[in-house]
Amino acid sequence: MEALITPSSPSLSLSKKLYSSSFSPLTTSTSPFLFPKPHKYLTQRVHTSKFGNFLDLIPENKQTPIKLDINWLDPSTKARLDVIVIGAGPAGLCLAERVARHGVRVCCIDPDPLSMWPNHYGAWVDELSCLGLDSCFDKTWPMASVHVDDYKTKYLDRPYGRINRKMLKMKLIGGCVSNGVKFHKGKVWKINHQEFESSVVCDDGNEFKASLIVDASGFASSFVEYDKPRNHGYQIAHGILAEVENHPFDLDKMLLMDWRDSHLGNEPDLRVQNSRIPTFLYAMPFDSNLVFLEETSLVSRPVLSYKEIKLRMVARLRHMGIKVKRVIESEKCLIPMGGPLPVIPQPVMGIGGTAGLAHPSTGYMVARTLALAPILADSIVECLGSTRMIRGQPLYHRVWNGLWPIERRLTREYYRFGMETLLKLDLKGTRSFFDAFFDLNPEYWHGFLSSRLSLMELAMLSLSLFGHSSNLSRFDIVTKCPVPLAKMMGNLVVESI
C-alpha cells in the first residue's frame, strides 16, 4: 500500500504500501509535537537465535546527490518572483514545474535540491500510468497478496510497483529546468506577509519575495496554520532493504499485508500487545536474495513505540527463517493521518503533507499528490498568469479552494471516519475488516485506496462492506462505529454549510 510503507525525508513532504508522500514521514529530527507520546508498553528483548538480529547491522548504502545542471537563483539580483515553493520533494518539484510551464516565475528553496530522497516509494501501477509516469517504476509485480491469518490469503489482481526514486526525481527536476524554475539552497526560517506579497527568510540570511508561498516541506512544517486540535492517528514503520540468505516470498507477488501473528508464539508480551494494536509485514521481493521488508502499524493513537515495531519485526523474520546478511538501506516512517484540514484559506498554500493530502485511512499520498499538483497549478496560473494579477486574499481563496473544493472535503471526512474505525479494531477485528474489504468489487477497494470514490460511491462501499462482513465484523461496526459515524455526519454538515 503505497502510503503504508513509504517513508520520506523531512525535506520532501509520504509513503508506500497502503501509503504514499508532501511526502515525508517524520524523522527523529522533527518537533516534539509531531512525535506524540508512544504507548507505554513494557517490552522485552527478543530472544537471540541462529538467525541473529538484523538491528545490529549497520546500513551500508549512502545516497549520492543527483548530477544535473539546474538554474540557481542569484540573490544579488533581487529578482521578482511570482511563486516560491519550499521543498524539493515530489510535491514541490511537480508543482513548480507545472506552474512554470505557463511563464509564472518560480523559485524552489530546499536545503539540498539535488540530494536523493532517502525513502522507498511504492504505488499501484495504474496510479502512475494515468500520470504518464510508467517509466518511473524500477520493479513491478503483477499481483499483490494479503495474509489475513495463518489460514487465509487474498490475492489481489492489481499490479504494484516500486518507484525508482532517482528516475522520478530526474524527471521532475528536469521538467523544472526546462521550464525555467530557479533553485536556492537553503532552509526557510521565517515567512512574513503583507497585503499583496509575502517574503521568506532563509538560514543563510537571504530574503526572497513573491506573490504566493507554497509549503511542500512535509509534515514537520510549522508554516501552515490550523485552528483545530490536530488529533492525528499515526502510522509508524521500520523498513530495510536487505540481502538475505533466502526468503519465502513469491517473486511474482508483492506482499501488501501480513497480519499473521504465529511468529509471536514464544513472545507472550509482544503477542498480547500485538493483539491490541496489531502490526503487519509489507514486503517487496526483488530476487531470491534481495528484498525490502517493513513492519508497519497501520494507525494508532498515540503512536506505537518505534522500539515495539522493531522487536516485532525481529521476531517475525526469525520465525520466517529469514537471515539478513546485509542491510543496504534502513528507514523509519512516521505519518500523521487524518486530523483536521489546515485553515482554508490562509496566506501560505500547502501541498502534500502540509495540505492534509495523506490518505486518512491508509497514509497513501505520493500518487495522489502528483495527480493533484496540476489542479493546484491551474488555480495558481489562473491568478498569477493572467493580466489581472489576482493577489492577496482573492488569490489565497482561489488556490486553497481549488485544491480542496467542497466535494473533496466531504470525501475526506469519510476517509477520516475509516481511520477512526480502524483505530478501534484489535487484531481480530482488523483481520475481519480486511477479509471483507478485499472481497468487495475491485472498483470499490481500488477507488478507496486511490482516493477516487465520490461521496455516493463511498456510501455504497459501506453498505457492500457490511454485507460482506462476518458476524464479528458486523458486531464491531454496530458497537464501535456509532461515535465516529456521528462525528463524521456532524463534520459533513459543517463542511456543507
Q: Tens digit of pLDDT for each residue in 308-357?
A: 999 999 999 999 999 999 999 999 999 999 999 999 999 999 999 999 99
Q: What percent of the chain has pLDDT over 90?
A: 71
Mean pLDDT of 430-459: 95
- Cell digits of residue 416: 477520516
The pLDDT score that the predictor gives to residue 91 is 94
Is 62 or 303 the better-scoring residue by pLDDT? Answer: 303
Q: Note whether 309 and 383 are same-domain residues.
A: no
Question: Cell digits for 84?
Answer: 516560491
Q: 245 CB contacts (<8 Å, ≥6 apart)?
A: 289, 322, 323, 325
462 and 479, same domain (yes or no): yes
Q: Look up the pTM and report it.
A: 0.87
- Other residues' Cβ atoms within 10 Å of the Cβ of residue 477: 22
234 φψ region: left (φ > 0), alpha (ψ -120 to 50), beta (else): beta
Closest CA to 217 of 486, 45, 34: 34
What distances in angstroms separate CA 211 from CA 22, 77, 349, one per listed residue?
21, 18, 11
Using alpha carbons, list the distances in angstroms from residue 297 to 80, 114, 258, 273, 387: 46, 31, 12, 12, 50
The pLDDT of 432-461, averaged and rounded, is 95
Residue 387: per-residue pLDDT: 63
In a domain, 453, yes or no: yes
The answer to whether the CB of 118 falls within 8 A of the CB of 95 is: no
Cα(220)–Cα(213) distance, integer angstroms? 17
Choose the weakest-confidence range: 32-41, 150-159, 372-381, 456-465: 32-41
Q: What is the pLDDT of residues 239-271, one digit of tens each?
A: 999 999 999 999 999 999 999 999 999 899 999
Query: Which range marks the domain in which residue 183 is found?
Result: 71-227+340-403
Give the pLDDT of residue 2. 44
In a domain, 3, yes or no: no
Residues 130 and 236 in one domain: no
Cell of 25: 514521514
CA distance 425 to 481: 10
DSSP 454-497: -HHHHHHHHHHHHHHS-HHHHHHHHHHSHHHHHHHHHHHHHHH-
Is 333 contained in some domain? no
- Cβ–Cβ under 8 Å, residues 6 and 17: yes
Q: Are residues 399 and 479 in the same domain?
A: no
Half-sphere exposure of 423 (CA within 13 A, CB side): 24
**Residue 355 and residue 411 in contact, taking contact as beta carbons nearer than 8 Å:** no
CA dist 66 to 10, 166, 382, Å?
A: 18, 8, 33
Is the peptide bond prior to 38 cis by the omega test (within 30 degrees of 0)? Answer: no
Residues 284 and 417 in one domain: no
Query: Can you list the positions of beta strands (E) in 186-315?
Result: 188-193, 198-202, 207-215, 233-244, 253-258, 280-285, 290-300
Task: Look at residues 299, 327, 355 and tell me which one is the last residue of a structural domain.
Answer: 327
Question: How many distinct structural domains can be found in the chain?
Answer: 3
Q: Which three cell numbers stand for residue 373?
A: 499538483
Residue 113 lies in a domain: yes
User: Domain check: are 308 and 383 in the same one?
Assistant: no
Tell me: the pLDDT tens digits for 139-195?
999 999 999 999 999 999 999 999 999 999 999 999 999 999 999 999 999 999 999
Exposure string over 36-48, b if 16+ CB within 10 A, otherwise e: bebeeeeeeebee
| 222 and 346 within one domain | yes
Model confidence at 486, pLDDT cuts 50, 70, 90, reads low
pLDDT over 60 at 416, yes or no: yes
Of 267, 291, 272, nearest in space to 281 by CA: 291
Predicted pLDDT of residue 364? 84
Query: Which stretch of DSSP H or E encloses residue 110?
Result: strand 106-110
Domain boundary among the residues 370, 403, 436 is at 403
56 located within any domain: no
Q: Is residue 485 over pLDDT 50?
A: yes
What is the amino acid identity at position 63? Q
- For residue 237, pLDDT beyond 50: yes
194-216 pLDDT, tens digit per residue, is: 999 999 999 999 999 999 999 99
6 occurs within a structural domain: no
Q: What is the CATH number for 216?
A: 3.50.50.60
What 8-state DSSP symbol labels residue 80? Answer: -
Q: pLDDT at residue 234 above 70?
A: yes
- Which value, to the nearest 10 degrees, does the dihedral of the CA atoms of residues 153, 159, 160, 163 take? 170
In this structure, is residue 38 part of a structural domain? no
Q: What amino acid is encoded at 99 in this protein?
A: V
Are residues 222 and 154 part of one domain? yes
CB 341 within 8 A of CB 404: yes
Instruction: Based on the fold, state whether residues 204 and 177 are members of the same structural domain.
Output: yes
The pLDDT confidence band at residue 14, using thresholds 50, 70 and 90, is very low
pLDDT band at 56 (very low <50, low <70, confident <90, very high): confident
SS3 298: strand
Structure letter (DSSP) for residue 327: E
Q: Tell me how far CA of residue 351 lies from CA of 190, 195, 218, 369, 426, in angstroms.
A: 18, 22, 9, 7, 33
Pairing of strands 324-337, 233-244: antiparallel
pLDDT at 19: 38
Decide: helix, strand or coil at residue 134: helix
**Mean pLDDT value across residues 42-69:** 69
- Distance (Å, rounded) from C-alpha 123 to C-alpha 323? 27
Which DSSP symbol is given to 362? T
User: Do residues 236 and 221 share a domain?
Assistant: no
Please indicate, yes or no, whether residues 100 and 221 belong to a single structural domain of this protein: yes
Domain-embedded: residue 103: yes
**Does position 26 have pLDDT exceeding 80, yes or no?**
no
Rounded distance, CA 1 to CA 16, Å? 5
Average pLDDT, the chain: 87
* 173 and 93 together in one domain: yes
**CB 336 within 8 Å of CB 24:** no
Exposure pattern of 308-341 as b/e (b: 16+ CB <10 Å)? bbbbbbbbbbbbbebbbebbebbbbbbbbbbbbb
- Cβ–Cβ under 8 Å, residues 464 and 441: yes
Residue 407 has pLDDT above 50, yes or no: yes
pLDDT attached to residue 492 = 64
In this prediction, residue 46 carries a pLDDT of: 43
Indicate the pLDDT class of residue 52, thresholds 50, 70 and 90. Answer: low
